[in-house]
Amino acid sequence: MKLEYTAEHQAFREEVRAWLKANVPAEPLQSFDTEAGFQQHREWEAKLYEGRWGMITWPEEMGGRGADLMQWLIFEEEYYAASAPLRVNQNGIFLLGPTLMEYGTEEQKKRFLNGMATGKDIWCQGWSEPNAGSDMAAIRSRADLSEDGMHYVINGQKTWSTRAVWADWCFGMFRTDPESERHHGLTFILVPLDSEGITVRPIPQLDGLPGFAEIFFDNVKVPVDCRLGGEGEGWKVAMATAGFERGLMLRSPARFQETARRLVALYKANQQSADEDPSIRDEVLSAYMDAEAYCLTTYQTACRLMQGGKIGAEASTNKIFWSELDQRMHATGLKILATRGELEPDSPDAGDVGRWLDGWLFAQSGPIYAGTNEIQRNIIAERMLGMPRK
Partner 1 sequence: MDFTFSEDQLLFQESVRSFLVNENTPEAIRQLWETESGRSDALWAQLAEMGLTGMTVPEEHGGLGMSELDFVLLAQEAGYVALSEPLVNSVLVAAPLLAECGNAELAAEWLPKMASGDARVVVGLGINKLVEDAHCADLLLLEQDGAIYAVDPAKATLRANQSVDPGRKLFGVEFNSADATVIADGDTAQSLIANALNRGALGVAAQALGLAQRMIDLSVQYTSERKQFGVAIGSFQAVKHHMANIAYKLEYAKTPVYRAAYDIANKLPRATLSVSHAKLAACEVADLAAKNSIQVHGAMGYTWEVDLHIFMKRAWAFNSSFGTAGFHKQRVAAAILADDAPLGAGATF
Backbone angles phi, psi at 190, to 5 degrees: -100, 125
Contact between residue 212 and residue 161 where contact means Cβ atoms under 8 Å apart? yes
CB of 296 to partner 1, least distance (A): 4
Give the chain's radius of gyration (CA, Å): 22
- Burial class (CB within 10 angstroms; exposed 0-12, middle 13-18, buried 19+) of 224: middle
In this complex, which beta carbon is closest to partner 1, that of residue 138 or of residue 387? 387
In this complex, which beta carbon is closest to partner 1, that of residue 48 or of residue 186? 48
Identify residues 361-390 at the interface with partner 1 (CB under 8 A).
Answer: 374, 376-378, 380-382, 384-390
Of positions 195, 270, 317, 364, contacts partner 1 by CB under 8 A: 317
How far apart are the C-alpha atoms of 70 and 123, rounded to whole Å? Answer: 26
**245 binding partner 1? (CB under 8 A):** no
**343 binding partner 1? (CB under 8 A):** no
**350 binding partner 1? (CB under 8 A):** no
Return all residues near 137 (Cβ < 8 A) that are at least 6 apart: 182, 183, 186, 235
Q: Which is it for the CA torsion 37, 356, 248, 191, positive or negative? A: negative
Q: Which stretch binds partner 1 (CB under 8 A): 20-28, 175-183, 236-244, 313-321?
A: 313-321
**264 binding partner 1? (CB under 8 A):** yes
- Burial class (CB within 10 angstroms; exposed 0-12, middle 13-18, buried 19+) of 297: middle
How far apart are the C-alpha atoms of 347 and 335, rounded to whole Å? Answer: 18
Identify residues 277-296 at the interface with partner 1 (CB under 8 A).
Answer: 281-282, 285, 288-290, 292-296
**355 binding partner 1? (CB under 8 A):** no
CA-nearest of 183, 168, 186 to 227 is 186
**339 binding partner 1? (CB under 8 A):** no
CB of 189 to partner 1, least distance (A): 33
Backbone angles phi, psi at 123, to 5 degrees: -105, 150
**144 binding partner 1? (CB under 8 A):** no
Q: Which stretch binds partner 1 (CB under 8 A): 22-30, 39-47, 96-104, 299-307?
A: 299-307
CA geometry: angle 359, 365, 366, nearest 5 deg: 85
CB of 247 to partner 1, least distance (A): 13
Of positions 33, 45, 78, 214, contacts partner 1 by CB under 8 A: 78
The SS3 assignment for 333 reads helix
Instruction: Identify the H or E element spanning 142.
Output: strand 142-145
**72 binding partner 1? (CB under 8 A):** no
Residues identified as active-site: 245
With contacts defined by CB under 8 A, how many residues of the chain interact with partner 1? Answer: 62
Of positions 24, 62, 81, 145, contacts partner 1 by CB under 8 A: 81
* Residues of the shown chain interacting with partner 1 in the complex, contacts defined by CB under 8 A: 1-6, 9, 13, 70, 74, 76-78, 80-81, 253-255, 257-258, 260-261, 264, 267-268, 281-282, 285, 288-290, 292-297, 299-300, 302-304, 307, 314, 316-317, 320-321, 374, 376-378, 380-382, 384-390
